[in-house]
Structure 1
Amino acid sequence: MAGNSNSGRKAIPATVHLIRGNPSKKSAEELAGATSRSGPPAQAPACPDFLTADAKTEWRRIINDLVVLGVVTKIDRAELAVYCQAWSDWKMARKKIAEMRDTGFVETTPSGYKQMSAWMQVANRAEDRMRTAGSSFGLNPAARGRLEIRSPQGELFPNEQKDAAEKYF
């Protein structure tokens, strides 16, 4: 098989592409991400009951904006749950590290060697999970540049999605 949509490098945000001088000679439509996107409608999935309290708080904090931007659907529940739980794990680990002060970063093994503390390892792994899952929803600047946000057909009526997109971009 020659490849699929996941092959090759990740797309560069249009603004970065234009700053570099558009060496690939892409059209304005390609740079603006004017590709048509089909799929389920943007809709908030139900928050899983097994998430921790901090994870549920993060879910409530971001879900409305993700729906308005049109980047989350009911079938994205698991990916969003991974992001929110990773946020909760990261927050808990960082609190433990702060409580331990200097000993929160490095531990001494029984043989006398220094190594990264267990809490620091938990924090780093949770941060990696947050970045990976969050990039699916445009929760960092580079990922937002790769999102294909559907543009409205006309301007006859107020458009919440367009207003929200302008707030973030």
Structure 2
Amino acid sequence: MAGNRNSGRKPLPANVHAIRGNPSKLPAHELAGGQGSQPQIQAEIPPCPAFLSKDAKGEWKRIAKDLQTLGLISKLDRGELAVYCQAWSDWKRAREKITQLEDSGFVETTPSGYKQMSAWMQLANRAEERMRKAGSSFGLNPSARASLGPGTAAQGELFPNEQAETAEKYGL
């Protein structure tokens, strides 16, 4: 079998495609809602879940505005951002505990005398995996950011432009 519907690269959202500098040279009307494109969802910050830890809420506040500015977040992304922020909080807590325990934070000795990775180190590693996986959805790690390409959006495109919006409104 040559492939199925899951073969190949995942399609990019239009805003990420535009941030990359439109490498496929698609016409603007196809990027903005042409045939086969995804529905346009307004970039807005979803409400922060109340159950997140204090550190996770701090990370949410730190990063959400930047993601909105870049058009990489909507209200639909609440769960994915919550996973990232809580994973960051868990990772931070585990790393603080490892630092506090010094050398014993890395390796534990079992009752039978064997050495193994400490529970705190295991927690830190798992939280880091969750953080990397969820963060890559938003371009929050170097490899995910590299896929956005060097030609990120120009500064003038990141902020509201009343003249450009008026021209677009009237088809100019």
Counterpart CA distance in 1 for 2:41 and 2:84 is 21
Q: CA RMSD in A?
A: 3.1
Aligned to 2:77: 76
Counterpart CA distance in 1 for 2:8 and 2:46 is 31
Aligned to 1:15: none
Q: 1:1-169 maps to which residues of 2 (within 5 A)? A: 2-4=3-5, 7-8=7-8, 29-30=23-24, 36=31, 38=38, 39-147=40-148, 158-160=156-158
Q: Deviations over 1:21-70 (max 9, x none)?
A: xxxxxxx73289x8725331111100000000000000000000000100
TM-score by length of 2: 0.70
1:79, 1:133 within 8 Å by CA — same for their partners in 2?
Answer: yes
Indicate the structure (1 or 2) with the bigger Cα radius of gyration.
2
The change in CA–CA distance for 1:9 and 1:29 in structure 2 (over 3 A counts) is: closer
> What one-letter code is carried by the residue in structure 2 that aligns with 1:142?
S
Structure 2: gaps spanning 5 or more residues: 12-21, 32-36, 161-172
Instruction: Report sequence identity in percent.
Output: 60
How many residue pairs get aligned? The number is 139
TM-score by length of 1: 0.71
Counterpart CA distance in 2 for 1:143 and 1:105 is 29
1:55, 1:85 within 8 Å by CA — same for their partners in 2?
Answer: yes
Q: Deviations over 1:143-165 (max 9, x none)?
A: 1233499969xxxxx53259xxx
Q: Deviations over 1:96-155 (max 9, x none)?
A: 000000100000000000000000000000000000000000001221233499969xxx
The change in CA–CA distance for 1:89 and 1:31 in structure 2 (over 3 A counts) is: farther
> What one-letter code is carried by the residue in structure 2 that aligns with 1:30?
S
The change in CA–CA distance for 1:104 and 1:9 in structure 2 (over 3 A counts) is: farther
> What one-letter code is carried by the residue in structure 2 that aligns with 1:29?
P
Counterpart CA distance in 1 for 2:9 and 2:41 is 27
Structure 1: gaps spanning 5 or more residues: 12-27, 153-157, 163-169
Give the superposition deviation at 1:71: 0.6
SS at match of 1:30: coil
Q: Deviations over 1:76-99 (max 9, x none)?
A: 000000000000000000000000
